[in-house]
Structure 1
Amino acid sequence: MRYLSFLTFCLITMLMACQQEKPVKKEIKDFKSGIESVKGIRYTEVKRRFSNGLSFDTTGFQQEPSWIIEFYSADTVLAWDPAQQKMQGFHLHHDHKDVYNFAKEWFRFKSVSKDSLVFQRLQVTSKAIADDIRSDVNMTFYADSYIKKLSSSAEVLQRPSKADTTFIKQMIERAERNPTNADSVFAGRIPVQLIPRDNRIQVQKISTVDKLNGRTEAYDYLYPRFRIIIPDSYKDFGFEFNVLVDSNGKMHLGKFYMNMPEYKESRKKVLQGIIDVYLTSLLIIKPGTTLGLPHSSEITVSVKGKK
């Protein structure tokens, strides 16, 4: 009996040890020394996701895989330049541990093999890595030869996942319950479209992209802005205000600035009148969509009336 008890004790101890043991993360201690194994392999980014596995966040921002890279030598990386339509060379700078920099971007090299790469994209400010969502991005690359083995294509692999679709549908359900609440709606990946019915109204979509100050192309769909001119209005006026456009294309007045609170209600009536009399009547309004699904989203309009 004592022998059986001893065996039982040993078995339980072994099981507990197995349960407590954590998988060992393989750390790339000296990537440059092993670069020969992946040198000359062309990799295409097929996934870019947050740590929760999604490519969308609650604002409607979408992480989109777009990089194509190739390690040319121990200190040079080639990356595809869409503007020049060719691969450009960039210095590969090793900062510390598994943190590297190339093409003016910072990365943590998490996994490297002949078939795939996994990088964590980092936001670095004043030599410090931001410990927030800006560094919460994982990029997965597949070697072009590996993509062929999968009998697939980069375009297919880059598509949003089923989890993304489920997440967006949940976001839409929330927005539909509160279509006039700015805190419930989110930006459409394809933003609202305002199309003039005739020459009684003019519409210009304003781009706020400023790459030098960190405003990427995403700003144009996250924060859509329009300049609208009404040539034959009942009087001269000029207002800027936010509008919530629901999934049916109906406009609802959103936030607006008013420095005199006592006149806020009268200003609200004026802006609602502009929406009802001019914008709704003179525009074809197409709601914002994400993954092909229409939903409520917010836009900013600057409306100028000329008598």
Structure 2
Amino acid sequence: MTTTTLSPSIPADWRDFLALTKPRVMRSVVFTGLCGMLVAPVALPPAIAFTAILAIALAAGAAGTLNQWYESDIDALMKRTAKRPLAAGRMDRDSALHFGVGVGVFSVLLMGLVVNLIAAAFLAVSILFYVVIYTIGLKRYTPQNIVIGGAAGAFPPMIGWVAATGSLSLLPILMFSLIFLWTPPHSWALALLIRDDYAKGGVPMMPVVAGARTTRWQMLGYAVAMAVVAIAPWPLGLAGGFYGVVASIASAVFVGLTVWVVAVAAPTPATMKPERVLFVYSIGYILAMFAALVVDRWMV
């Protein structure tokens, strides 16, 4: 990683600090964390529940900030990320580092002081996992970066559950596993579309290192395993029929789209590339799974 600090040509403003937090990722983290809290058997007082979700959001923002701080050299090389505040030279690295560390520490303290210490511990681990294990330890060195690193994005529903109950059980572990197994086909679908961009940035994503064919087959393996985990709460008695039907249909479509990705290797129009269709569907899929779990719990 380069340690050169660029002098910002344009002063950073609040929008740049917001961009550092990766708002789109933060929304997904908050949503899955909230769902983990809502399906828990214990209902938190509104003020404490709000504080827990705020802490999760701040932690996600801190992790995103520190990720961009460390990867500013890579971001500057890739078209998809070149306009980020650090990559574009609108902010100095020290400001981003201080902001990320400060927000991260505050989020953990807030969770520990207002909610409970176990949830705070899980929150701290999730930040450290994303920054140290994924960003620093894996991203630049192995095509398995997104597989192992996917655990970082899978923590929120467990944190939401632990915030409400103070302990773990099988359902939040399955929620964690669902996101963990969903991440490779979701991320590699995008990587197949922008493989050249990753290659330019020197990021050893699976399509860059192993090729498209191997990546597609591995996506299918993860999609099948994900579908099994997604449906599992129903036969295990952890969710009812509504969730079971939604999970079964949505997961079958996901696997079907992944089979399409494997089968169609020939060039296709950009708007109809199976990888693009799968990537877009995968975003709605994971949100639908967690929303269905909450609705199913409320129907009991």
Q: TM-score, normalized by length of structure 1?
A: 0.23
More helix by share: 2
Structure with max Cα Rg: 1
More strand by share: 1
Q: TM-score, normalized by length of structure 2?
A: 0.24
